[in-house]
């Protein structure tokens, strides 16, 4: 692990060692949160920072924590900052929303439990630590298309950005006026759980918005993979907690179908973009370096961690 300071003007795309150390520290915290919320959702009063009812909310959050752990594993093992850097913005928004929600609902927390103090430390420190790490490390990103990488088509980027804007707007309403949404939610929500789940909705929404400003698939791929990890776990949770769903059948089934459709679309994009870059006739020309001869530039699929 290189501990040399980042130098101005040196765009070698390396991950700064404090970012890597931060990821290593956070991984077991998020993994423990997943174990508590996803494996023991009926015991949040005894094990978690606050009592969560019904269990579907705990399961939903647990799925999000495991996808977060996946992201920080990628940071800890990455060789190129550009492959993980954008997601630091998403995590910052997520952590800031949970931190604010903590103080809004201070009286709802189990102040005598160690989980609360771990929660408080995490969500009062990371909204400041993570953007600082992002700001320091982003100067190593060359911002260019590497051999074997490819550009995401403009139409796809526009669609993702629109979806991100709509989802972020929904998350903002759920956070600022939870009662406007909770009456039309598939399972019962308290104001605290509503504001907490809004952070989980905002995380991928910010990632989709980044498609408007970034072309490189290698830099965007992690923003697709994080929700791809969470969504199947949320689907399994919905089966486990099916008795907790209430409301009109159209609402409940619409949510279930939307969940499956979202994962299918993300998976389709992921599969389409990881296809090998093919050379154009003539060996040179074309856009984004995709026309380089296969013999001259070995293909390195963008989805390989740490490439």
DSSP string, 205-245: HHHHHGGGT--BHHHHHHHHHHHHHHHHHHHHHHHHTGGG-
How far is it, in rounded angstroms, from Cα 191 to Cα 176?
A: 10
DSSP string, 232-297: HHHHHHHHHTGGG--S-HHHHHHHHHHHHHHHHHHHHHHHHHTSPPPPPTTSS-SSTTTTS-TTTS
pLDDT at 275: 80
pLDDT at 298: 42
* Position 289 pLDDT exceeds 60: no
How far is it, in rounded angstroms, from Cα 175 to Cα 196?
A: 8
Contacts of 281 (CB under 8 A, 6+ apart): none
Q: How crowded is the C-beta side of 185, counted as CA atoms within 13 Å? A: 23
Whole-model pTM: value is: 0.87
Task: Convert the pLDDT of each residue in 228-267 to its tens digit.
Answer: 999 999 999 999 999 999 978 899 999 999 999 999 999 9
* Position 286 pLDDT exceeds 50: no
pLDDT at 130: 97
How far is it, in rounded angstroms, from Cα 18 to Cα 75?
A: 11
How far is it, in rounded angstroms, from Cα 78 to Cα 72?
A: 10
DSSP string, 113-181: SHHHHHHHHHHHHHHHHHHHHHHHHGGG---SPPTT--BPPHHHHHHHHHHHHHHHHHHHHHHH-THHH
pLDDT at 279: 57
pLDDT at 7: 54
- The proportion of the chain whose per-residue pLDDT surpasses 90, expressed as a percent, equals 82
How far is it, in rounded angstroms, from Cα 50 to Cα 214?
A: 38
Closest CA relative to residue 68, chosen from 227, 302, 209: 227
Task: Convert the pLDDT of each residue in 112-147 to its tens digit.
Answer: 989 999 999 999 999 999 999 999 999 999 999 988
Please give the mean pLDDT across all residues of the chain.
89
């Amino acid at each position: 692990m290189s501990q040399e300071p980042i130098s101005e003007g040196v765009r070698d795309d390396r991950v700064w060692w404090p970012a890597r150390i931060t990821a290593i520290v956070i991984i077991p915290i998020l993994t423990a949160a997943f174990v508590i919320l996803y494996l023991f959702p009926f015991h949040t009063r005894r094990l978690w920072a606050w009592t969560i009812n019904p269990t579907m909310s705990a399961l939903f959050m647990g799925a999000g924590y495991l996808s977060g752990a996946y992201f920080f594993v990628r940071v800890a093992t990455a060789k190129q900052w550009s492959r993980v850097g954008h997601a630091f913005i998403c995590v910052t928004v997520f952590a800031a929303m949970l931190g604010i929600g903590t103080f809004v609902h201070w009286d709802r927390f189990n102040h005598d439990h160690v989980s609360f103090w771990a929660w408080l430390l995490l969500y009062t420190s990371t909204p400041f630590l993570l953007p600082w790490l992002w700001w320091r490390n982003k100067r190593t990103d060359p911002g260019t298309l590497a051999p074997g990488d490819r550009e995401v088509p403009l139409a796809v980027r526009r669609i993702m950005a629109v979806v991100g804007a709509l989802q972020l707007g929904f998350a903002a309403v759920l956070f600022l006026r939870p009662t406007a949404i909770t009456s039309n939610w598939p399972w019962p929500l308290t104001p605290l759980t509503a504001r907490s789940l809004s952070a989980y909705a905002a995380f991928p929404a910010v990632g989709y918005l980044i498609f408007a400003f970034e072309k490189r698939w290698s830099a965007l791929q992690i923003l697709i993979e994080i929700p791809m990890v969470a969504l199947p776990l949320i689907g399994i949770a919905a089966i486990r907690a099916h008795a907790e769903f209430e409301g009109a059948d159209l609402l409940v089934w619409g949510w279930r179908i939307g969940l499956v459709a979202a994962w299918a679309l993300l998976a389709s994009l992921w599969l389409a973009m990881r296809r090998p870059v093919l050379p154009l006739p003539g060996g040179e020309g074309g856009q984004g370096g995709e026309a380089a001869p296969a013999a001259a530039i070995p293909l390195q699929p963008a989805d390989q961690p740490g490439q």
